Amino acid sequence: MKLHELPPGPRIPNEIYVVVEVPYGHRNKYEYDSDLGAIVLDRPLFSPVHYPGDYGFIPGTLADDGDPLDVLVLVKTPTFPGCVVAARPLGVLLMHDEKGGDEKVLCVPSTDPSFETYHSLSDVPPHFLREMDHFFRVYKELEGKHVTSMGWKDRWEAEQVIKDCIKRAKTKPTASRKAAAVKKTTVKKKKPKGTR
């Protein structure tokens, strides 16, 4: 099974799966390429900043920008690209970039006892929320791209965003699914033997 074919999580919307693309502390922007079935280097970040947590996506979702829903997972130590983390949503950072809405769901690993008391944004140190907001506002600046932050919203809002993105993925085909559908309809039927 390819990573993008995984279900969105074991207990939606309270517990989700996150496919990690960029580990905590890294400056290389990796992305999962569903056609290749591999994580590829998209680009190094132009700005002198690094990801403030493990960054990835929820499989089986489709955000406003046409990509799976983005997630930042708070971790003590980085995982690795392609790691699947069961995570608990705490809130969502509402953002807008050159492609439209670009929400970032904030989560903690479900199985990490270091975060067992984290259930909402109020459990996260306020300065850390400001750091994450700042990172996502500036990390594309030197690429000439503008990002606007509308601020943090609570867990209920994050769960609504997750449910909406799951629904959108089920009703709106992605480019890969469209290509597969076209390929299926263009396959020629074999003529029975002895006919012209």
Q: Where would I find the beta strands (DSSP E) of the chain? A: 16-22, 28-33, 38-44, 54-57, 70-73, 84-97, 100-101, 104-109, 148-153
Decide if 43 is inside a domain.
yes
Domain span at residue 94?
A: 3-186
b/e per residue, 104-130, with b = 16+ CB within 10 A?
bbbbbbbebeebeebeebeebeeeebe
Structural domain count of the chain: 1
- pLDDT average, residue stretch 173-189: 47
CATH number, position 132: 3.90.80.10
Banded pLDDT at 190 (limits 50, 70, 90)? low
pTM for the whole structure: 0.86
Banded pLDDT at 184 (limits 50, 70, 90)? very low
CB 131 within 8 A of CB 97: no
Decide if 19 is inside a domain.
yes
Q: What is the mean pLDDT of the chain?
A: 90
Decide if 103 is inside a domain.
yes
CB 95 within 8 A of CB 153: no
Decide if 33 is inside a domain.
yes
Say whether pLDDT at 46 is over 50.
yes
pLDDT given at position 187: 47
Which one has a higher pLDDT value, 116 or 181? Answer: 116
SS3 for 127?
A: helix
pLDDT given at position 12: 96
Decide if 170 is inside a domain.
yes
User: How far, in Å, CA of 50 to CA of 46, rounded?
Assistant: 10
Decide if 192 is inside a domain.
no
